[in-house]
Structure 1
């Protein structure tokens, strides 16, 4: 019996995790695995690019978990600099183009994995493609940014457009490199993944670090000099001088191929799958990573949440199923952490605006606490905000902003959300305590007590 063929489109987290897992479960004479990657790297950490740019870690090799050669040695036929340009689902083949030679070929498949990732938002503004304007999506992007930051002398000015996760991490990298940094954000506060009152804490901290934060402001153009390079970023009535511009406007699912093939897409444009990560309505087509929408366990709706943690889990599930096993990806609660210099930022579950959009009635509780017992050296302040459903007391969301020791406390809330705990139940959680690690009442538990009181008082 001839071997079946698994074709993987995309050589990063989801795609290569799926390929690697399927390879471990099958023999080459049972399943041939071919992966197509249009870039120059496989299995790398895009999340590490800002820290490479900031000089915290080395790159790009340090950010690569497994090279094409290592994948090939394990029985996966990786084709680099090869782009999949079309899908024929009925005929079960893909059309691919070698980006070096321009040669086009067709490759048949028995199983198809779409792991096409996401594309950075790049608005159609004057000058947006000028030299000196950088994204931070791929390792090639990272190399270009590092080279730009290494060059030049004297007063060096950078503008970051967008103050989400990418934007604040890029701002940190630039500050570490000694650049004067301006961050421009169209929302009222940085970090729109937080409620505005918590975003205001981030803004105050960034300003205290010497970062100029401009909010409620749209970028209208990127201005260039006589040499064609960026010289400023324009907003209504003002220009912000810039030798380098970093775009941190987020990403959208890269699903052009899927759309052209008629595959089902959600409201954000991400592919829709079942719990086994099989594309809905297609028995032998799978999808994972930043190109899919996932089930939000708190709201019950699908959302686009592009994170490497999810992508690797998707790949494991897909590879298990293709390899003859059975696995599912039940969903997420929307947990994410980030930092800008020594400020830690975390969230999980729903924001107030999201809870309102779902028609949920809720209460909030916000508390100030410290990372350690107040008398223990090194105790740092943190703010914890908690949302709970009125009536039931079900936990709906948690946000944390603070210094060292703040962000990873959100994991307790993520577990509580997954377990559908009430805030009253959370107050009895047996969390670890010693003065070097927390006050006798952990900040998350203090917030839960306050939220439980609000529910009962309501």
Structure 2
């Protein structure tokens, strides 16, 4: 526990949520009032995991360029940050955690007055034969990125270098592009029929067609059964039920799951997706002295009304700000999300927010869908690029339920219009009346999102009639 008159805050996890919480708490309370100790089992803190594919692909330098604040900078602000130190057990009833020093192996108990759990997420790594072979990489932390780059560097000069990416979500398609940029022949194995399962299949098809045009081989319906290795123990191929795909390196892009092993063992409340459950202040439900944020928690989906696991750095930083305010005696809340995400494959931009068709069906909503083809600028203006916008609207009410956009430059960030409208609970008719900026270099007279909203208004009226 803290010294007399001083509280002790322990933080498990030194990335976005954990160190944002530490920094915000320190802004509000000085070292004489609040002792802050943060444990990070890796070698880096406060970094952009989202930037790892661009580091691997050579678009940005790393890892230093991906670090927002160094351990030394945190320590200078009065935060006792301990790297290579892993928390191995939580004891909420006694207000303490067991920690292990990775270098010495020494273990000890550390007491707390307040605890923040920011343990992040772990890459999905199915228990397949050969999955731990040399040359098979997950990509979640800067340490993971450095290990992958070391492998790729070791393959420099190898003729006909081949990479297999398993999984076609955000990380999978971004890593496929990164490896293509490094001169690899890339095969993307996807269990579903279309890549990007965060999109509806008709929009995912546009992504697959673009990747095919880039020279990335996308294999649909590919269920990986094992990783094949050579006599040296290194990966040599990936096997599915139907074929083998030669590989000098394999990258796993199967998504992530909340890292809540410690929380589960301690009996803290978990949701449907295995993430910690919190109230609006990010306090763990049923615990007065424990907060949680980042990729290890589930959050409220404002459109469906259900809890979801959405691992994004934007949310993690906001969670940390809220937690830091609350543990230091201030006040903050995190009301929820609408599920906005953007990505790119070379020049193709991909965006979504709100519900997909299957999400709307799952919560019992009846809806209409519309799709429009538009351009990023006025059609006559040089550089106008095509984009496809899909929109979901609720029957009878016309409430906007979701929006997906696939296109070229200027497409992805347009989804923010829909994200704001979803957060405000607007109808598609209200979206058509938004006073958006217009000039030929930036947009057609009817912005593509508003063009989709106009079509959705007509579809809702037709369905009602």
The root-mean-square deviation of aligned C-alpha atoms, in Å, is 0.6
- Correspondence for 1:453: 458
- Correspondence for 2:99: 96
Whole-angstrom CA distance in 2 between matches of 1:371 and 1:345: 14
Which of the residues 290, 295, 298 maps onto 1:290? 295
Following superposition, the deviation at residue 147 of structure 1 comes to 2.0
- Correspondence for 2:108: 105
- Correspondence for 1:400: 405
Which of the residues 223, 234, 243 maps onto 2:239? 234
- The alignment status of 1:152 with 2:151, answered yes or no, reads no
Whole-angstrom CA distance in 2 between matches of 1:104 and 1:140: 23
Whole-angstrom CA distance in 2 between matches of 1:373 and 1:441: 9
Which of the residues 277, 283, 286 maps onto 1:281? 286
Counting only pairs closer than 5 Å after superposition, residues 60-71 of structure 1 correspond to structure 2 as 60-71=63-74
Whole-angstrom CA distance in 1 between matches of 2:243 and 2:92: 51
Following superposition, the deviation at residue 323 of structure 1 comes to 1.0
Whole-angstrom CA distance in 2 between matches of 1:387 and 1:11: 39
- The alignment status of 1:217 with 2:222, answered yes or no, reads yes
- The alignment status of 1:188 with 2:162, answered yes or no, reads no
- The alignment status of 1:76 with 2:79, answered yes or no, reads yes
| Count of matched residue positions in the alignment of Structure 1 and Structure 2 | 458
- Correspondence for 1:364: 369
Following superposition, the deviation at residue 60 of structure 1 comes to 0.4
TM-score, structure 2 as length reference: 0.98
- Correspondence for 2:358: 353
- Correspondence for 1:304: 309
Following superposition, the deviation at residue 67 of structure 1 comes to 1.1
CA deviations on 1:389-444 (whole Å, 9 max, x unpaired) are 00000000000000110000000000000000000110011111111111111000
Secondary structure at 1:21 match in 2? helix
Whole-angstrom CA distance in 2 between matches of 1:102 and 1:2: 32
Following superposition, the deviation at residue 148 of structure 1 comes to 2.1
Which stretches of structure 1, 4 residues or more, deviate above 6 A after TM superposition? none
- Correspondence for 2:209: 204
Whole-angstrom CA distance in 2 between matches of 1:224 and 1:139: 26
Following superposition, the deviation at residue 145 of structure 1 comes to 1.3
- Correspondence for 2:146: 143
Whole-angstrom CA distance in 2 between matches of 1:216 and 1:388: 30
- Correspondence for 2:334: 329
Secondary structure at 1:171 match in 2? helix
Whole-angstrom CA distance in 1 between matches of 2:179 and 2:99: 38
Whole-angstrom CA distance in 2 between matches of 1:147 and 1:172: 18
Which of the residues 18, 23, 38 maps onto 2:21? 18
Following superposition, the deviation at residue 324 of structure 1 comes to 1.0
CA deviations on 1:202-233 (whole Å, 9 max, x unpaired) are 00000000000001110111111111111111
Whole-angstrom CA distance in 2 between matches of 1:114 and 1:126: 33
Whole-angstrom CA distance in 2 between matches of 1:379 and 1:159: 34
TM-score, structure 1 as length reference: 0.99
- Correspondence for 2:385: 380
- Correspondence for 1:176: 181
Whole-angstrom CA distance in 1 between matches of 2:348 and 2:229: 33
Following superposition, the deviation at residue 29 of structure 1 comes to 1.1
Whole-angstrom CA distance in 1 between matches of 2:358 and 2:241: 27
